[in-house]
A and B are shown apart, each in its own frame.
Chain A
Amino acid sequence: ETGVTQSPTHLIKTRGQQVTLRCSSQSGHNTVSWYQQALGQGPQFIFQYYREEENGRGNFPPRFSGLQFPNYSSELNVNALELDDSALYLCASSLAGTVSSYNSPLHFGNGTRLTVT
């Protein structure tokens, strides 16, 4: 069973640039969620993708966008980077859409550490 993998592990960008982060979900999982974890804080929900469509969104501006692909992998795109976007970005996969999957736990990747200077 392959776990959740994220790339890259670390990234440094300049304010105003754009970034794309990638996530491969765990084998058999069809739902991907993205979280932002600032230093010293718990993760905050950005959005979730199910069947290639956004399926819920937290309090993040539209410059945070995403995609899910037919193989359930996902991308997180952030435009016009700001200094406050510096954080650990976590991807989590789970199984949804069946009765038995209602309490399907989240499986997190190890994250991408983004630094905006």
Chain B
Amino acid sequence: TQLLEQSPQFLSIQEGENLTVYCNSSSVFSSLQWYRQEPGEGPVLLVTVVTGGEVKKLKRLTFQFGDARKDSSLHITAAQPGDTGLYLCAAPMDTGRRALTFGSGTRLQVQP
């Protein structure tokens, strides 16, 4: 069974602070995705990382894929209230299914 563990589960910070959330597994993945889900909505894809050690930036968000392709991190610089949401990491399940296994998410609350 492929498991993705995310930490922390909850994070409440003030606007302007920096934060990092983590996604860890004992399994090696061909790629890993990060999604953000807001209340009452479905997850929205933020980024896909595919190469060990890869770093991708999306405005104030920096995503890193571990060298061994077992873990990933998401760093947000100068968080804003609009960053509030559930951040989910996801990776492909067994080959041939084209389905994703998700972590349980980090719920981020950014206070103005």
List the interface of chain A (C-beta within 8 A of B): 4, 31, 33, 35, 40-45, 48, 55-56, 58, 90, 92, 94, 96, 103, 105-111
Contact = CB atoms under 8 A, between A and B. Distances in A.
Contact of B104 (A4, A42, A108, A109): A42
B96 interface: yes
Contacts of A31: 98
Contacts of B48: 103, 105
A107 B102 CA distance: 15
Contact of B42 (A55, A58, A105, A110): A110
A108 to B, nearest CB: 3
B104 to A, nearest CB: 5
A93 B31 CA distance: 19
4 residue pairs, one from A and one from B, having the closest CB atoms:
A108-B42, A42-B102, A56-B97, A45-B99
Interface residues of B, number: 25
B100 A45 contact: yes
Contact of A48 (B41, B98, B101): B98
A29 B15 CA distance: 38
A103 B103 CA distance: 20
Given A56-B97, A103-B31, A108 B102 contact: no
Nearest to A102: B98
A42 B88 contact: yes
Interface in B82-102: 88, 90, 93, 96-102
A42 B2 CA distance: 14
Nearest to A46: B99
A92 B98 contact: no
Interface centre among A35, A106, A107, A110 (most CB of B within 10 A): A106
A4 B42 contact: yes
Given A48-B97, A56-B96, A106 B102 contact: no
Nearest to A101: B98
Contacts of B41: 110-111
A54 to B, nearest CB: 11
